[in-house]
A and B are shown apart, each in its own frame.
Chain A
Amino acid sequence: MLKDYLLPASVDEALQNLQAYSGKAAIIAGGTDIMVNMAEGKVSPEALIDISRIGEFKQIEEEGEFIKLGAGVTHTQAARSPLIREKALVLAQACREVGSLQIRNVGTLVGNVVSAQPAADAAVALVALEAIAEIADLQGKREEPVEELYAGIGACKVDCRSQLVTALRFKALSPNQGSAFKRLAKRKALALPMLNVAVVLSLKEGAFEWVRIVMAPVGPGPVRATASENILAGASVSPEIIEKAAAAAREQAAPRDSALRGSAAYRRDVLKVLVRRALQDAVSQAGGSL
């Protein structure tokens, strides 16, 4: 039963609050997941630790070649940030697709990551950006790639009883690089994705220097389309190679049949289309031509 609602002013204070409740407190930022889970009786913390008053958590800033997002950055903030729109468009596009405007206004990107749903839009984009999560506990700080935080459906390796994700960091894209996000859903708002795809790539002299393609929900967390990435790496940019890479993504993916989100066969067929379209958009952003 909920007994207290805490508003720490610093990361240290938040961590101490967590320790004081020895695992029985939960972090709340936007509350768009935890309030639903509490209402459904899935979790029943004794205290909620609201991290929205921690000043630096609201910041989106450039740090050298990196972009850093505080743990309180909302989807609306990211979707509208000129910096992110210029140097990590895939993330702005993904954040614009989450839930509805009201949910985007309060829900945070870090929440999107630690809730560890298989097809969380922002998290899919973050994996494509090779984002790193900064994780703090009372012993200190460590860093882990977002991609490696998944421990199963809805399970995150960050131990929320004693640890706090304080920020996300990824490399800003340069002019020869491009990114794109594609999504298939049953309606334009308030619909979980039937499929989502994030692409980040780098071009060099008419060829793919490297490509990162992430697809979901085809596994417990965002899944890298490694076969497609390998086909493209080093290859000259052409419609044919993009088609080949898209087809490889279709072969690698193993979505499930879902009464709510479509059959596996359909989703595999459309995945190929989304991967191709995302690659096309990202290539043209990176200054490539098809």
Chain B
Amino acid sequence: MKEYQVVGKSVRRLDALEKATGMGTFTTDLALPGMLYAKVLRSPHAHARIVKIDTGRAEQLPGVEAVACFKNTTRVKFNHSATMTFTVPPMEAVLDECIYDDVVRYVGDEVAAVAAVSERIAEEALALIDVEYELLPAVFDPVKAMEPDAPDIHIKKAGCFLCGKNIPGEKIHLALGNVEEGFKESDVIIEETFYLPVQKQAQLETQAALATVSNNGDITVWSTTQTPHPTRQILSHIFQIPQSKIRVLNPPYIGGGFGVRIGLSAKAEPIAVDLAMKTKKPVKIVYDRKEDFTSTDTRHSGIVTVKLGAKKDGTFQALQLKGLLNTGAYCSFGAETIGVLGAMGLSVYRAPHMLYTGNSVYTNITPAGAFRGFGNPQAMFAIETVVDMMAERLGMDAKELRLKNIIKPGDPWILPYSCQSTGLAECIEKGAKEIGWERRGTLNKPGDTLRRGIGMAVGTHVSDAWPFCGDFSNAYVTIQADGSVHVASGVPDMGTGTRTTLGQFAAEVIGVGMEHVSVTIADTQSTPFDIGSHASRTCYVAGQAVMKAATEARGYALAYAANMLNEPLEDLTILDAVVFCRGDRKLTLAEVARHAHLHNEQFIGVGKVIPQNAPPWLAHFAEVEVDTETGQVRLLKMVAAHDVGKAINPVIVEGQLQGGVVQGMGYALSEEVIFDREGRSQHDAYHKYMLLTAEDMPEIKAIIVEAEDPTGPCGAKGVGETGQVATAPAIASAIYDAVGVRMKQLPMTEERVFQALQELQKR
């Protein structure tokens, strides 16, 4: 394995001191002179037409400077997710929303917005807007929404592509071999259906934006977006203004994201820009927590069916997967998530015959979009539970059955790129050792009411979105006149340590310590185009761009130094900011850079990357204790063994894995947004929505496995989402081991486990 100086080391994060001391700047913190505050009037109805809207009384309220609604605001159709900026023809992005429409499609949909001198006055003005609604029939169930007599949530027209009743985007069809033959060849077939809930990102910083418009019409927007460059493209589209006249940036920090702002931060940016254009003043909008729950993307709820056929010896013959995702009132990433559900679900195991069919469907609930895992957790809860059941039916150890069937490089698989590396077998073995897999089935005595169990599940993910949609990165790396190194990349750092990791790549390539490196991120004006942070791609793709740019800058510096020293270029190297030559001839990088500066030259490298893709792999293990009298599940230990290719900064990687596991634990046990019969969210606040707390945490052991991928920067693969992928099925498997019930609906609340136990007793 290659020796590195900076890569692979847990160097201190560049943002550590600022954030630990409370000095880091977030959009929510920003203020500009003369700034106005925006508040949004939201629909109380799940589906209604606005018959009349009168903003007169609100406009009269002293302190109110503008009121916006569909009557006085652009109605250009867009999609608030970044899909509209990178969907490649012949596929078509679904553009199904405008800032304010005359039809509202879910409880919380935007009706109007006020800009006023204070938040309180803006709030008061909302109550003065008179709206008359004509109620329309609403549908909340994804199956009912596809029935012929269901209400149409969007009318098929230009820019809003429907391929069936309430079905946006494409119906996905992925096939390998012939599943019917595969099932005929199988000795054992298991088919089960699983029900997945709405989960919420619940990131700490709510959606926020601050927009200003200069005298000559240039627009600047600070916001919480995970993708500043695509967000600029969307704003350019909505307001029909050239991209060159819009600047989007993070200030520079974002309080988490988890996918909730890939593209616009819900509608924070266009609402702020529109009101800033109307008032000629800076306008800031910060969603309150309730708005963040009701009116920003969630994880897709849905129904997944798995049919698995195997030979008696455990060889998988056929795997069929069906997906239905509820994308809510607007498509967002609904067309992509349903595809990833199938693509990821079918790329873990080797089977000669596979088939996936799936589609998303509109209903009148909060839109669902991107959330860490992006369809993959839905797929793997279903698949891994069925694999567990298959092991039991075949009388095989669940770990051995997986080891027998997991994909290896060279196997045929469903994805349009090849699998060039896998450390999954190593993940399984290391994780099993850590949890004590051999103890499985030996933990309880007859009659115990508190019963322990051990379970496992595996999975994979992506390292970017190529070739499913547009995906590329650019970076500048400059060796400054004093020899220090500056990196410019368009990705954000939403808490994932991006700045530090990208800095490590530049430091490693050029041969300097981290103290010489600074990193500018997430600004369309000072960084080259980058798709941004999604699809676990930031380290993998932006990292490659930075390495390429740094290599180029280093080349210029070395060539210059070779000239200065009058030595052959190939004899020169840079170590610890010193350019060494044969013998003891050397110059500091600072000396070289200063000399160059005085002779009118700077070392600027540009890195442009069109990436490939690489599968990260993961094996999760859980130990739980189930109270058989209450149904409560207590987590005792979680193990997450992940093949990350190469951990550029191991502590950051462990943090990513643990964070993903924590969200997976909530998905498994307690997190769920339920809508009542009128479509109103019952879980619209932190005290109602059951994120697990610090007191609920078990020991979480992250194990890093490094099967370097030839396509990754220093071999690295994506780690942003993997922690979430197979956590719920590992816990479900442990619950089964403890008490013998197969849970087929998430979250596995105490009441659902209790009911399952009662049904088991009746049998």
Contacts and interface: CB of A to CB of B under 8 A. Distances in A.
Contacts of B690: 186-187, 191
Contacts of A194: 750
A141 B676 CA distance: 48
Contacts of A263: 751
A266 B693 contact: no
A22 to B, nearest CB: 27
A273 B630 CA distance: 7
Contacts of B754: 266, 269-270
A188 B693 CA distance: 7
B629 A187 contact: no
Given A260-B683, A262-B751, A270 B693 contact: no
Contacts of A192: 687
A100 B687 CA distance: 11
A194 B751 CA distance: 11
Contacts of B630: 184, 270, 273-274
B188 to A, nearest CB: 35
Number of chain A interface residues as a range: 10 to 19
B682 A189 contact: no
Interface in B689-708: 690-696
A177 B631 CA distance: 31
In terms of DSSP, what is the predominant structure of the interface of chain A?
loop
B676 A259 contact: yes
Contacts of A184: 630, 632, 750
Contact of B629 (A190, A191, A270): A270
B128 interface: no
A188 B695 contact: yes
A188 B696 contact: yes
Nearest to A36: B687
B270 to A, nearest CB: 29
B674 interface: yes
Interface string B625-636: 000011110000
B305 interface: no
B693 A100 contact: yes
Interface string B535-577: 0000000000000000000000000000000000000000000
Interface string A184-219: 101111111010000000000000000000000000
Contact of B751 (A189, A266, A274): A266
Contacts of B686: 190
B688 interface: yes
Given A186-B750, A190-B687, A259 B674 contact: yes
Nearest to A100: B693
B755 interface: yes
Interface in B658-682: 670, 674, 676, 682
Given A259-B674, A270-B630, A273-B629, A189 B694 contact: yes
Nearest to B747: A186
Interface in A241-272: 259-260, 262-263, 266, 269-270
B236 interface: no
Contacts of A270: 629-631, 750, 754
Interface string A80-102: 00000000000000000000100
Contact of B670 (A186, A189, A266): A186
A187 B692 contact: yes
Interface in B705-763: 749-751, 754-755
Contacts of B755: 266
A187 B751 contact: no
Contacts of B750: 184, 186, 194, 262, 270
Nearest to B634: A188
A187 B750 CA distance: 10
Nearest to B688: A260
Contacts of A274: 630
Interface in B617-670: 629-632, 670
Nearest to B449: A273
A196 to B, nearest CB: 13
B674 A187 contact: no
B102 to A, nearest CB: 30
Nearest to A192: B687
B695 A186 contact: no
21 contacts: A184-B750, A186-B670, A187-B670, A187-B690, A188-B696, A189-B696, A190-B687, A191-B690, A259-B674, A259-B676, A259-B682, A260-B682, A262-B750, A262-B751, A263-B751, A266-B755, A270-B631, A270-B750, A273-B629, A273-B630, A274-B630
- Minimum-distance CB pairs A-B, first 5: A188-B695, A189-B693, A259-B682, A273-B629, A189-B695
Interface of B: 629-632, 670, 674, 676, 682-683, 686-688, 690-696, 749-751, 754-755
